[in-house]
A and B are shown apart, each in its own frame.
Chain A
């Protein structure tokens, strides 16, 4: 009997004491998710900016190719072949760099999504726990 009373008292105390803590945790989770969302938006904005800058490199390459050709009095086959090789090598190098940059942004977004998923799960668990204490009351 004594043991049962003690247990009941402890559970009641825990229930009364835990609810505000859970509410505080839920608030922190919400803030964290908002923070993650802000960082995600920032990453996407940076991706957009970087993509624009990377595209400019490609445009500069096209302009340079045309400028070299127009400044040349006579275009022989060897010169054209060399220009095309260099142009193609540069295009491939830029494509490789762009893919690597894109991959890095994707990794950032994936990591942030994983953090958000974990926070959603934590939120769910906390809500379930709070519900449990409400039943106790």
Chain B
């Protein structure tokens, strides 16, 4: 199982982006999605909780979907912690 964290985080952000842009058109216009993705990836790489969850999923033989769910969850947690 090979997961590219940056691609997955970009996908998670992209999924939410259209709804977000509808509700916050001005912010969506000035926020650089790529920079936000870089920031989230950098955070996840050093987040022990995320690393632990990922290791558990891998040792349990979890599929890509599970890993993507974990990434989604931890990106949400990261966003919540920022506020």
Contact = CB atoms under 8 A, between A and B. Distances in A.
A136 interface: no
Contacts, number: 73
Interface of A: 57, 60-61, 63-65, 67-68, 71, 79, 81-90, 92-94, 96-97
Given A92-B39, A93-B32, A97-B35, A85 B82 contact: yes
Contacts of B26: 63-65, 67-68, 71
A87 B39 contact: no
Contacts of A84: 83
Q: How large is the interface on B (under 10, 10 to 19, 20 to 34, 35 or more residues)?
A: 20 to 34
Contacts of A85: 79-80, 82-83
Contact of A65 (B23, B27, B42, B78): B27
A93 B78 CA distance: 13
A89 B79 contact: yes
Given A64-B24, A71-B25, 15 more contacts: A61-B30, A68-B24, A68-B26, A81-B83, A83-B23, A85-B82, A86-B24, A89-B36, A89-B82, A90-B31, A92-B82, A93-B39, A94-B35, A96-B38, A96-B39
Interface string B1-28: 0000000000000000000100111110
